Homo-oligomer: A and B are copies of this chain.
Amino acid sequence: MSETRPHKDPTRTEQAPRSSSRHRSGRKKSAGRRLRIIPFGGLGEIGKNMMALECGDDIVIIDAGLMFPSEEMLGVDLLIPDFTYVLQNRDRVRGIVITHGHEDHIGALPYLLQALNVPVYASRFASRLIALELKQKASKLKPELHEVKAGERITLGSMAVEFFAVCHSIPDAMGLIVHTPLGTVVHTGDFKLDHTPVIGQPTDLHSLALLGTRQVLLLMSDSTYVELPGYTPSESMVAESLERIISDAPGRVIIATFSSLVSRLQQVLDIAAKNKRSVVVTGRSMEGIVKVAAESGYLTIPPNTVSKFEQIHNLPNDRVVILTTGTQGEPTSALVRMANKEHPQVRIIPGDTVIMSATPIPGNDELVSKTIDNLFRLGANVVYGSVSKVHVHGHGSEEELKTILNLVRPKYFVPVHGEYRHLARHAKLAQKMGVARDNVFVLNNGDVLELTESGGKVTGKVPAGDIVASGPMTGELDANMLRDRRLLSRDGVVVVTASYSPDNGTLIGVPEIVGKGFVDMRGNGELLRGAQDVVMAAVGRAHRTSKERSSLEAQMRDTLSGYFFSKTHRRPVVIPVVTGL
């Protein structure tokens, strides 16, 4: 097909992987017998998952997630994948398939769909969350959203995608079996092998086992928890601990968990009902998801269990459960407000039991610890940490990853979802489990892996950097800007303004010096006067060599920086502004 189809986008051929342009104009059959795997996110990082499968003239996109940046990316709210390659090949994109409704798999959809209106295929629960996401972003988009079920099969150009049930920390998660002209690809999505999930089905091992008896071309499998030995415990294990803690609690129970972890919400509601406690739900995302999950039948609310704050005032404390957001210590979350005595309805009192039914995502440990400390200070008994058994996570541990490798027995293996060390470790595991060394690929985002009948090879690189999304805007991550912010955050800024008289090469009046985030200049007259003196002296010196504004300003900046460092051992960013030149 490719040779006859008009190129709508003239830049397309240029941007395609280098080695492929020659082949693309080749024979149809050969083009169809070549499969490209291009990850745009989710490799070497946790979050922002997105990948393209490309076969002949057809591209299928798997997931489009966002990622919350690390601490050092000052002022950056969200990161999304770079869509350049996808948009340059927009006429070949047949659809987007979604594995599940977590933000790191659907969060970039509002941005992607804005630029590329193609059909989206997702489970029912994921579809509801996509709609919620679009609504919260005040997006006017009406995407072509198809609800699909595990077991269903859709055709996208020369590829067919079959969905299979996986168990994960959100309802309705699915893995993908992609039938391509070159062979079968299995993508696990995020999964664990929970044989007794509280809601939904266990991971569909039968389908995978059956596939394993035929030749599977490629397995792509979740690497997030490859570092953990053994098996991840079942969600149902949590019930025992929660039941014991809630029934023993002398007063209110405040329980924080992930809002999309609907099975956990279900357990809390059931245990509360059994213990004749009323449940109040607080926190924006928790209220939103409880509503969606209950409406769509994923969450069954026991009769007379959920109340509003107004209704529980007269209840004794040991008849109350408060279900809340804030497991990650997010400053504006309901739990953190309680810990800081800022929640409009809840004041923590001695006798309260707070359950942290979650683990901190790496990078959030300090915020979470501070929240726990503050809750203890207010007299609450806080139950947290792995010893307390009030949380199990949603990804398979080492033995589960081995199980999948053993069942699927793929020819090629690409570890996905995880930081680089996880991918490297998962790659080794696959080799140990019998995948040929040369058939295991640890990819970086943007790598183009090309599989043909004769083998696999990384043949090129496409743009796959971090794109900053802030509000409705997106833009490339600007390293200079981040460097400036880092400098500003260390010792603040000092602005020095001077009016220059070119006639006699001196300043008119004294220079004006204003600081922000540096030392208190007004309370430190000596420092200020000294700074004015060195600026005036610098202008005098500069005058002799150059009357250029830029050199005058550079001289002022350097002199003042040196002066401040000698006096304060700090290095504020100095911004000089000279007028009159």
Residues on A close to B: CB < 8 A? 44, 70-71, 74-75, 227, 229, 362-363, 365-366, 369, 372-374, 376-377, 382, 385, 387, 419-421, 424, 470-473, 478, 481-482, 484-493, 495, 497, 499, 512, 514, 516-520, 568-570, 573, 575, 577, 579
Alpha-carbon distance A487/B488, docked complex (angstroms): 9
Q: Given A490-B74, A568-B473: A424 and B369 within 8 A (CB)?
A: no
Q: Given A365-B362, A470-B570, A514-B575: A376 and B488 within 8 A (CB)?
A: no
Q: Give 7 closest A-B pairs by Cβ, nearest first.
A: A471-B569, A489-B489, A484-B517, A75-B490, A373-B420, A488-B488, A485-B517
A-B contact pairs, 27 of them (CB 8 A): A74-B517, A75-B490, A229-B387, A362-B369, A363-B366, A372-B421, A376-B420, A377-B420, A382-B421, A481-B517, A481-B519, A481-B520, A484-B516, A485-B488, A485-B489, A485-B490, A488-B492, A488-B493, A488-B517, A493-B516, A493-B573, A493-B575, A495-B575, A495-B577, A497-B497, A512-B579, A514-B575
Contact across chains for A514 and B74 when beta carbons are under 8 A apart: no
Contact of A573 among B74, B472, B478, B516 (CB under 8 A): B516
Q: Given A366-B70, A376-B424, A516-B573: A492 and B497 within 8 A (CB)?
A: no
Q: A437 → chain B, closest Cβ, in Å? A: 13
A369 contacts which chain B residues (CB < 8 A)? 362, 419, 421
Q: Given A71-B366, A421-B373, A473-B568: A488 and B516 within 8 A (CB)?
A: yes
Contact across chains for A489 and B74 when beta carbons are under 8 A apart: yes
Contact across chains for A516 and B473 when beta carbons are under 8 A apart: no
Contact of A577 among B75, B362, B517, B577 (CB under 8 A): B577
Contact across chains for A486 and B489 when beta carbons are under 8 A apart: yes
Q: A71 → chain B, closest Cβ, in Å? A: 5
A485 contacts which chain B residues (CB < 8 A)? 488-492, 517
Contact of A492 among B366, B484, B495 (CB under 8 A): B484
Contact across chains for A577 and B470 when beta carbons are under 8 A apart: no
Which among A472, A488, A492 has the highest number of chain B CB atoms within 10 Å? A488
Residue of B nearest to A470 (CB): B569
Residue of B nearest to A484 (CB): B517
Q: Given A363-B365, A516-B493: A579 and B499 within 8 A (CB)?
A: yes
Q: A262 → chain B, closest Cβ, in Å? A: 29
Contact of A419 among B227, B373, B481, B514 (CB under 8 A): B373
A491 contacts which chain B residues (CB < 8 A)? 75, 485
Q: A10 → chain B, closest Cβ, in Å? A: 25
A372 contacts which chain B residues (CB < 8 A)? 421
A75 contacts which chain B residues (CB < 8 A)? 489-492, 517, 570
Contact of A481 among B376, B471, B492 (CB under 8 A): B492
- Apart from A481-B518, A489-B489, what 7 extra A-B contacts exist at CB < 8 Å? A75-B492, A363-B365, A373-B419, A373-B421, A473-B569, A497-B577, A516-B573
A365 contacts which chain B residues (CB < 8 A)? 362-363, 365
Contact across chains for B579 and A497 when beta carbons are under 8 A apart: yes
A70 contacts which chain B residues (CB < 8 A)? 366
Which among A471, A485, A487 has the highest number of chain B CB atoms within 10 Å? A485
Q: Given A366-B71, A481-B517: A512 and B577 within 8 A (CB)?
A: yes
Residue of B nearest to A425 (CB): B376
Alpha-carbon distance A372/B482, docked complex (angstroms): 23
Residue of B nearest to A45 (CB): B373
Contact across chains for A373 and B44 when beta carbons are under 8 A apart: yes
Residue of B nearest to A573 (CB): B516
Alpha-carbon distance A497/B475, docked complex (angstroms): 28
Alpha-carbon distance A266/B44, docked complex (angstroms): 36
Residue of B nearest to A362 (CB): B365
Alpha-carbon distance A95/B534, docked complex (angstroms): 45
A424 contacts which chain B residues (CB < 8 A)? 376
Residue of B nearest to A44 (CB): B373
Contact of A71 among B71, B229, B473, B518 (CB under 8 A): B71
Alpha-carbon distance A376/B365, docked complex (angstroms): 24
A575 contacts which chain B residues (CB < 8 A)? 493, 495, 514, 516
A362 contacts which chain B residues (CB < 8 A)? 365-366, 369
Q: A441 → chain B, closest Cβ, in Å? A: 14
Contact across chains for B577 and A227 when beta carbons are under 8 A apart: no
Contact of A387 among B44, B227, B366, B481 (CB under 8 A): B227
